[in-house]
Amino acid sequence: MSVNVGSNAPDFTLTNQDRQPVTLSSERGHPVVLAFFPAAFSSVCTKELCTLGDDFAPLRGAKAQVFGISVDTPFALKAFHSEQKLPFPLLSDFNKEVIRDYGVYNEDMIGLKGIAKRAVFVLDKEGVVRYREVLDDARSEPNYLKVVETVAALG
């Protein structure tokens, strides 16, 4: 299944880096950025999440909630979150349900089977997808400017 611009974002409940449940539908009322990434501690993922963290001020100004999502365990995400001092939660899709629901399941990336593709979804206050970017090459980074512009336009 693929989630496209204009569709309702599938709801989910995932565990964050502090092993607390986070439910997407409870975030209604403000924009949400879902940043799917292949693996904690990898170079491009680190750069992506740190860039989103650096660009967090305009996202925060628009009252957007950012979530990083990968199939890493909450324990690995806790270490990654702490090391990088990220200003937003990381969510564990260890059971690979959400990456399937959003159409970002990567069958095989250099021998790593069943991880997330690098992808970004921006949701409006009602949970409707307003921006979608799914990258087939994990070495590529999302268009951060488009993410920030889309969130700003939702304000």
Distance, CA of 24 to CA of 34 (rounded, Å):
10
Distance, CA of 116 to CA of 43 (rounded, Å):
15
Give yes or no: 45 in active site.
Answer: yes
Catalytic annotation, pick one of 40, 45, 59, 119? 45
- Determine the residue type at 7: S
CB-based burial, 80-107: b 16+ in 10 Å, e otherwise: bbeebebebbbbbbeeeebbebbebbbe
- Determine the residue type at 39: A
Which bin fits 72, alpha (ψ -120 to 50), beta or left (φ > 0)? beta
Q: Is 106 helix (H, G, I), strand (E, B) or coil?
A: strand
β-pair partners for 33: 66, 122
List active site positions. Answer: 45
